Amino acid sequence: MPSIQPRDFSLLDAVLIVLTAILLYLMFRPNVRQSTFWQATVTPLASIIGSGFLVVVPLLANIAGHWAWLAILVICLLSLWLGHAMRFTMEWEETQSQAQPPDPLRMGLDRFADVALAFAYVISITFYIRLMAGFVLTGLDIYSEFNADVLATLVLAGIGIYGLFKGLHGLEKLETYSVSIKLAIIVALLAGLIWHDIGQGYSLAGLTAPNQNLAQSLAQLGGMLLIVQGFETSKYLGSEYPAKVRMQSMILAQRLAAAIYISFVVLAMPLMSQFVGSEPNETAIIALSGQITLILPVLLVIAAAMSQFSAAIADTIGAGGVVEKESRHHLPARRLYPVITALSIALLWSSNIFQLVTYASKAFAFYYMLQALIAARLASHETKKANQALAFLCLAVLMLLVVLFAVPVEA
């Protein structure tokens, strides 16, 4: 993979550093950090853009080629449809659940969905830590797949042991800072891409359509569902925020993430041709950003390390909490942390990172399928919402197709 690193610190480097510093100053101001609505928005937003932003370009280069803009648009629209189904359920639970008799089928689907989410978290934890290891080692110029797997294993083991003896909730504070840093660096990267596209010209020469049939491309796109996963976290923040805030912040987070993803892919398309036909690499964005300016690769390594670690901590806590809840507190979350990370380590050594993307996409698709079925069940009870019930049922079928047919890019 070609990498053209500028030799000297440039005016663009200075501009991007100043831009990042200004954005961090604004986001670290007390009136922003302490805003209830912003805090409720940051949690799902961090999950959505946490890792997908780092791998979306090399994946779409091979899946969609010059149709990458359309592929990311379809994925974002699908995530908004899924979010609508979840918000429908959340609104029903807030306004009608107390007035309705218990529905054993809905309750059973809800519990099954929670268990499915716990398994999905195990896969996403593995992916986050493995991605973090890849970026850190690339930044130190000692990357190899084996070295990354070893570092990821040590980090996962450390999380499990620390969680057993100390608990992990104290580490959740990292999310507040890592999210702000990640957002500031993403804006700097987008600004750098705009600078590059204006200076070099917006040319898609060499970025051709993929050499595969439509069914194969769709199966691979299904394997990318993980990149828009994360909005469901709003559903589980009921103890912290009222339903209206959670629903409004969820849709804002999804729209912001969609705007970021679509802007990034469109702006990066002139640089995508170097990834076509090559084996996908999880740290390819470092090579891409290095062709723009000197400082961006450094900023991306910092952002990746912080965001992936905090995301893994959040999902470890989430998985432990779900199992603790479903076991009716017979299995304390602390004792589950080493089990969760042990499962992640086993998964780490039995698959590569882009297989993990697909495994996680299938797992979350199964969870979303159950949520769509719950929404369809609730809508079917209301005579004026028969069309919505049918739409949610179609969404569940679509998620089932992802579970059954999604494949990794290298397949």
DSSP letter assigned to residue 324: H
Q: Is 150 helix (H, G, I), strand (E, B) or coil?
A: helix
pTM of the model: 0.88
> What is the Cα–Cα distance from 185 to 352, expressed in whole angstroms?
27
Q: What is the pLDDT of residues 266-311, one digit of tens each?
A: 999 998 888 887 777 778 888 888 888 889 888 888 888 887 887 8
Q: How far, in Å, CA of 323 to CA of 333, rounded?
A: 7
Taking 3-state DSSP, the helix, strand and coil percentages for the chain, each rounded to the nearest 5, stand at 80, 0, 20
Q: Do residues 51 and 256 touch, judged by C-beta distance below 8 A? A: no
pLDDT in tens, 369-383: 999 999 999 998 876
pLDDT by residue (tens digit) across 244-261? 999 999 999 999 999 999
Q: Per-residue pLDDT for 109 more than 60?
A: yes
The answer for residues whose C-beta is within 8 angstroms of residue 173's C-beta and 6 or more apart is none
